[in-house]
Amino acid sequence: MWNRVMIDELLNLFFPDFIPYYEAYPHNIQRWFAARYLILFQYGGLYVDIDYDCLEAVDALLGDSTCCMGMEPASGSMYYNKPIVVGNAFMACIPKHNFFEKIIEDMKINYEKIFSPHKINQIMESAGPFLTTRVYSAYPNKDEITLIPAELIMPLSFIESRMLIKGEETQEIEEKIEKAFAVHYFLRSWL
């Protein structure tokens, strides 16, 4: 678990050129999203959102890949009118992976997207899953990245996760969970 002091130290030690971007974000969630990428770039490891339930060890999903990104469910892609969404709620990489370097570069290059008039789009484009999707789409070495199918780490739609939380489990939800390694609840506390 990283806190603000630890993130400030990370920025000062390894990413001083990113500090003006980081401090200018109008929403804390943009800083938290950015911190994920910076931490993974610097140290490597596995990042998983706090609103996940791990059902089985994920080692088999990661294998010997140097970079893994969890996909968002198709329902989310359709909702946002995107062919795919490469999520940022489940990510793993080795230190200094080029894909995470490209994410950090994109946050600087497309910095102006943080000023979108729509809060959710502003967040998603500047530092969230639309950013990771945009970088993946332009990334020349896609074979370096393992895309983990949503059904394995994010099997439920936003609506299904709400149903499960309310105790309204259906046979279809149960079957999806049985095949998954983890479940993301999309609590969206940042909204």
Distance CA 104, CA 35 (A): 10
Given a cut of 90, is residue 186 above it in pLDDT?
no
157, part of any domain: no
> Strand pairing partners for 146?
68
- What's this model's pTM, rounded to 2 decimal places? 0.92
Reading the block at residue 169, the tokens are 């489990």
| Residue 158, in any domain of the structure | no
In a domain, 185, yes or no: no
Residue 166 lies in a domain: no
Encoded amino acid at 76, one letter: G
Residue 39 has pLDDT above 90, yes or no: yes
Look at the chain and report how many structural domains it folds into.
Answer: 1
**Is residue 142 in some structural domain?**
yes
Instruction: Give me the DSSP letters along 83-126.
Output: S--EEEEEEEE-TT-HHHHHHHHHHHHTGGGGG-SSHHHHHHHH
By the 8 A CB rule, do 82 and 133 touch?
yes
Task: Report the C-alpha dihedral over residues 182, 187, 34, 151, rounded to 10 degrees.
Answer: 30
Q: Does the residue 28 lie in any domain?
A: yes
pLDDT tens profile 43-95:
999 999 999 999 999 999 999 999 999 999 988 777 778 889 999 999 999 99
Helix (H) or strand (E) holding 67: strand 67-71
Residue 78 is assigned to a structural domain of this protein: yes
- Is 163 contained in some domain? no
Question: What six digits make up the tokens of 123?
Answer: 């967040």
Query: Domain range holding 18?
Result: 4-47+65-150
Element (H, E) at 48: strand 45-48
* Residue 148 pLDDT exceeds 60: yes
Higher pLDDT, 77 or 100: 100
